[in-house]
Amino acid sequence: MVSEKLTVINKAGFHMRPAGIFVQAMGKYKSDITIVYNGREIDGKSIMNVMAACMKQGAEIEIRCSGEDEEAMLAEAAGMVKSGLGEE
């Protein structure tokens, strides 16, 4: 398992569009991805779970990846969050 702690920087957080982009990107990996937010573990491949977590700008999250392509998955996931999920 690999993990990284991050801060959600885009103004609208993980609303529908960025959550969809994130989940779609993670779907190509074989590894499992979990987002830890406010003590909850969220399935990073489930659009409903990611949106329901209500991760807003400034949210402190931890992304955990486990599986055969975990390093590549974490690198892409962390890069997406650091870049604002395609938004400002």
Residues noted as catalytic:
15
- Answer left, alpha or beta for residue 22, where phi above 0 means left and psi between -120 and 50 means alpha: alpha
> Which stretches of 38-86 are DSSP H helices?
47-52, 70-82
